[in-house]
Amino acid sequence: FRGGAEFLFDGVKKHQVTLPCQPEPWDIRNLLKWIKQNLLKERPELFMQGESVRPGILVLINEADWELMGELDYKLQDQDNVLFISTLHGG
């Protein structure tokens, strides 16, 4: 988490997680639900909108824009690095 998004997660920038086993492969959609339930500490409206990240949150999967990877439908692979960068600035 970067760009201020880490403050919604107790200021922790990096989380190394092991996701629980489930019948279907994990995708970003399910990862976001898991993050909301297990890591997000405050103000979920600043991170999520519906089942996705809110506009202004850049998502990178292994340093590539998630729009190139299938966004919410991207199937996570072992050792994937998912980065959330807030481009929102108060004023």
Tens-digit pLDDT profile for residues 8-44: 888 888 999 999 998 999 999 999 999 999 999 988 9
CA distance 12 to 21: 25
The residue behind tokens 């929102």 is 88
| Predicted local confidence at residue 42, as pLDDT | 87
| Cα-to-chain-centroid distance, residue 45 | 13
Split at pLDDT 50, 70, 90, the class of 5 is confident
Query: For residue 57, what are the β-bridge partners?
Result: 86
**pLDDT (tens digit, 9 = 90+) per residue, 58-80?**
999 999 999 999 999 999 999 99
CA distances from 42 to 8, 26, 48, 60, 77 (A): 5, 24, 11, 22, 28
Residue 86 has pLDDT above 70, yes or no: yes
Query: Where do the domains of the chain lie, and which CATH numbers do they carry?
Result: 5-86 (3.10.20.30)
φ, ψ of residue 59 to 5 degrees: the values are -115, 125
